[in-house]
Amino acid sequence: MSELYIDRGNTALKWQLVERGRLLNQGVFSNEITLREGFSTLKESRLANIYVSSVAAEAFCRDLQVWAKERLYPTPTFVESTRKACGVVNAYQDAAQLGVDRWLAMIAAHHKYTGMLCVVDTGTALTMDFLLESGQHLGGFIVPGAELMRKSLLSNTHKINIGDTPNSSQLGTNTSEAVTYGVEQMLVLFVREKVVDVGEKHQQPITTILTGGHATVLAEGLWPDVRLEKDLVLQGLQLVTKSYQ
């Protein structure tokens, strides 16, 4: 019997099928795709548990429950942020208000790395969370992500095509480059400045860990010792739910 782990973000759903710690299958699909289509490769799977991290609206929770019931799968368990888990202490006064994706990413980072950490999740929003080596969460920041800023800037502008322009510290020589380079540099400089500020305040070096859909692009503009983690939320989800089994 296997466990199905699901990370449902604002734009896409990632999943992993795991049996006794061994990864059997994994995938990612857009939120615009139905669960039946997205999970088509799971038809022959026998599931013991379904564990979910979701920042989506209640409609997704209901849809997932219906999907699981139709296939005679276990009822999905939706993980929430708590006051403390796996050695990490939540800084929020109301622990449940911290996004569960941020919470699980911090837990995974604390499990894998030593020292003071900055966990940066680069999705629709860019989030930064700082942790002491002890696991104490200090708090963090939330700002619009790259795509959200580009769309906001161009929402009332016509005849401009923003393609997949790579990150660069150069000056843009057309509107597409100017917007993309400007947004990327804003995010790079913001992350760099905040890591320096917090590190100086606590007089400790900080390891910066990037995850999320925009992490690779952002890493190009940051210093060499930044760490990239592809599925940090799913890693944290597996750690937290070990006690459930």
Is 143 marked as binding a ligand? no
pLDDT at 80: 97
pLDDT in tens, 12-46: 999 999 999 999 999 999 999 999 999 998 877 89
What residues have CB less than 8 Å from 192, skipping those under 6 apart? Answer: 222, 223
pLDDT averaged over the chain?
91
Is the predicted pLDDT of residue 168 greater than 60, yes or no? no
State percent of the chain over pLDDT 90: 72
Sign of the alpha-carbon dihedral angle for 148, 149, 152, 153 = negative
Q: Is 244 known to sit in a ligand binding site? A: no
Q: Which domains does the chain have, with CATH numbers?
A: 2-78 (3.30.420.40), 115-231 (3.30.420.40)
Which residue of the set 63, 94, 101, 164 is catalytic? 101
Q: What is the pLDDT at residue 162?
A: 47
Q: Which of 199, 196, 140, 191 is nearest to 167 (CA)?
A: 191
Global pTM value: 0.91
Active site residue 164: no
Q: Is the Cβ–Cβ distance between 14 and 235 less than 8 Å? A: no
Residue 100 in marked binding region: yes
How large a percentage of the chain has pLDDT more than 70?
A: 94
**CA–CA gap between residue 73 and residue 195 (Å, rounded):** 44
